[in-house]
Amino acid sequence: MARSALPVREHDPREEADWFQRLPEHAKEEFRERWRVVAGRTEQQIDRRRSTEVRYLVEGVMLFALLEFLFIGLSVTRLLLLMVPGLALGWICHKIRANRWRYVVVALPLYFAVYGIFGLFAIVHFIVFVCVAAGLGLSHELQRADGTEG
């Protein structure tokens, strides 16, 4: 026996409604197709949202770790310590859908907390940190504007 190339369609509970049952067959197929398209969009939106969240988390860690590496050098211990505020920055910014200004506003208290603990505050490091944070927020803002970010 040959197997059908068509995907197995799950039963949609909306097909049981009286209004749907009264429709002609071609109209029922149109509704089914629309519902499949909407379900596909929802899955795409979920996938985009997940990838965006991962991107925020990685950017948060990289913001702290790369700047630390460029200005001071990075030990394994310090990298592990910087992952915590980096992940916190990414998580918070994802939840509030940070734009360029919100990203900086969230990043600054974390910056002062981290570098207050490490006893380091260099003006050049601070300026680069703020500029990179604003750039990351702007990139998310632009992606939301063109619809590529979930």
Note the pLDDT tens digit of each residue in 86-135.
999 999 988 888 888 888 999 989 888 888 765 556 778 888 888 999 99
pLDDT digits (tens, 9 = 90+) for 51-69: 888 888 889 888 888 888 8
Which pair of structure tokens corresponds to residue 128? 């680069």
Q: Which pLDDT score is estimated for 129?
A: 87
Helix axes of 76-95 and 100-118: crossing angle, nearest 10 degrees: 150
What percentage of the chain has pLDDT greater than the value 90?
A: 11
The domain segmentation of the chain, as residue ranges, is 50-146
Those residues whose C-beta lies under 8 Å from the C-beta of residue 72, and which sit 6 or more positions away, are 120
Q: What is the value of pTM for the model shown? A: 0.63
Would you mind telling me the total number of residues written for the chain in this entry?
A: 150
pLDDT of residue 3: 45
Q: Provide the token pair at 51.
A: 């990838």
